[in-house]
Structure 1
Amino acid sequence: MDKHIIIIGSGFAAYQLVKSLRKLNAETPITVITGDNGDDYSKPDLSHVFSKQQTANDLVKQTASEFASANNILLINNTRVDAIDTENKTVHYDKQSIVYSDLVLATGSSAFVPSFAGNATEDIVTLNSLAEYQSQQDKLARAKSVLVLGAGLIGTEIAMDLASSGKQVTLCDKAPNLMPTLLPPFISSSLYQAMAQKGVNIQLDNTVASINRHHQQLVTSLADKQYIEADVVIAAMGLTPNTQLAQQANIAVNRGIVVDRMMQTSAPSVFALGDCAELDGKVRAFIQPAMLCAMTLAKTLLGTPSPVHLPASLVKAKTPWLPLHLSGNTTDENASWEVTNEPNGLIAKAYDKETANLIGFIVSHNQLKAAFPLLRLLPAE
Structure 2
Amino acid sequence: MSDHIVIVGSGFAAYQLVKSIRKLDTATAITAITVVTADNGDDYAKPDLSHVFSRQQTASDLIKQSATEFAQANAITLLNNTRVEAIDSTGKQLDYVNKSSKGTLQYSKLVLATGAQAFVPPFTGNAADEVITLNSLTEYAANQDKIAAAKSVLVLGAGLIGTEIAMDLSIAGKQVTLTDKATHIMPSLLPEILSASVYQTMAEHGVVLKLGQTVDSIHRHHQQLIAQTSDGQHTEYDVIIAAMGLKSNITLAKQAGLTIQQGIVIDSHLQTSHPDIYALGDCAEMDGQVRAFLQPTMLSAMALAKTLTGNPTPVNLPNSLIKAKTPWFPLSLSGQTTRKDTKWEIIKTESGYIAKAFDPQTNNLLGFVASHDQQSSAFPLLRQLQ
TM category (shorter chain) comes to: over 0.9
- Code of the residue aligned with 1:296 in structure 2: it is A
Distance 1:208 1:50 in 2: 24
Q: Does 1:76 align with 2:83?
A: no
Q: Offset of 1:148 from its aligned partner?
A: 0.3
- Matched residue of 1:30: which SS? strand
2:354 to 334, 347, 359: 347
- The two structures have a TM-score, normalised by structure 2, of 0.97
2:258 to 251, 261, 282: 251
Per-residue CA deviation, residues 324-358 of structure 1 (Å, 9 max, x unaligned), is 00000000111101111121111110001111110
Q: Does 1:329 align with 2:336?
A: yes
1:368 to 360, 366, 375: 375
The aligned residue for residue 305 of structure 1 is: 312
The aligned residue for residue 277 of structure 1 is: 284
- The two structures have a TM-score, normalised by structure 1, of 0.99
Q: Offset of 1:201 from its aligned partner?
A: 0.3
Q: Report percent identity of matched pairs.
A: 63
- Code of the residue aligned with 1:187 in structure 2: it is L
The aligned residue for residue 16 of structure 1 is: 16
1:93 to 82, 92, 96: 96
Distance 1:96 1:323 in 2: 48
The aligned residue for residue 161 of structure 1 is: 168
Structure 2 spans left out of the alignment, 5+ residues: none
Structure 1 spans left out of the alignment, 5+ residues: none
Aligned length: 379
- Matched residue of 2:7: which SS? strand
The aligned residue for residue 31 of structure 2 is: 28
Distance 2:261 2:298 in 1: 22
Which stretch has the larger CA shift, 149-158 or 87-96?
Answer: 87-96
Distance 2:216 2:141 in 1: 29
Per-residue CA deviation, residues 207-249 of structure 1 (Å, 9 max, x unaligned), is 1110000110000000111122110000000000000000001
Q: Offset of 1:36 from its aligned partner?
A: 0.1
- Code of the residue aligned with 2:159 in structure 1: it is G
1:209 to 213, 216, 232: 216
Q: Offset of 1:49 from its aligned partner?
A: 0.2
Paired residues of 1:6 and 1:103 also in contact (CA < 8 A)? yes
Q: Offset of 1:159 from its aligned partner?
A: 0.3
The aligned residue for residue 266 of structure 1 is: 273
Per-residue CA deviation, residues 104-127 of structure 1 (Å, 9 max, x unaligned), is 000000000010010001111000
Paired residues of 1:170 and 1:201 also in contact (CA < 8 A)? yes
Distance 1:356 1:97 in 2: 57
Q: Offset of 1:268 from its aligned partner?
A: 1.6
The aligned residue for residue 115 of structure 2 is: 108
Distance 1:203 1:170 in 2: 7
Per-residue CA deviation, residues 181-206 of structure 1 (Å, 9 max, x unaligned), is 00010000000000000000000000
- Code of the residue aligned with 1:304 in structure 2: it is N
Paired residues of 1:330 and 1:361 also in contact (CA < 8 A)? yes
Distance 1:307 1:260 in 2: 9
Moved over 2 A (4+): none
Q: Offset of 1:39 from its aligned partner?
A: 0.2
Q: Does 1:225 align with 2:232?
A: yes
Q: Does 1:137 align with 2:140?
A: no
Which stretch has the larger CA shift, 237-246 or 19-28?
Answer: 19-28
Per-residue CA deviation, residues 5-28 of structure 1 (Å, 9 max, x unaligned), is 000000000000000000001511
Per-residue CA deviation, residues 236-263 of structure 1 (Å, 9 max, x unaligned), is 0000000000000100000100000000
The aligned residue for residue 240 of structure 1 is: 247
Question: What are the equivalent positions in structure 2 for 1:33-48 lying under 5 Å apart?
Answer: 33-48=36-51
Which stretch has the larger CA shift, 88-97 or 214-223?
Answer: 88-97
The aligned residue for residue 120 of structure 1 is: 127
- Code of the residue aligned with 1:8 in structure 2: it is V
Paired residues of 1:86 and 1:268 also in contact (CA < 8 A)? no
Distance 1:99 1:376 in 2: 44
Question: What are the equivalent positions in structure 2 for 1:170-209 lying under 5 Å apart?
Answer: 170-209=177-216
- Code of the residue aligned with 1:46 in structure 2: it is L
- Code of the residue aligned with 1:225 in structure 2: it is G
Which stretch has the larger CA shift, 73-82 or 90-99?
Answer: 90-99
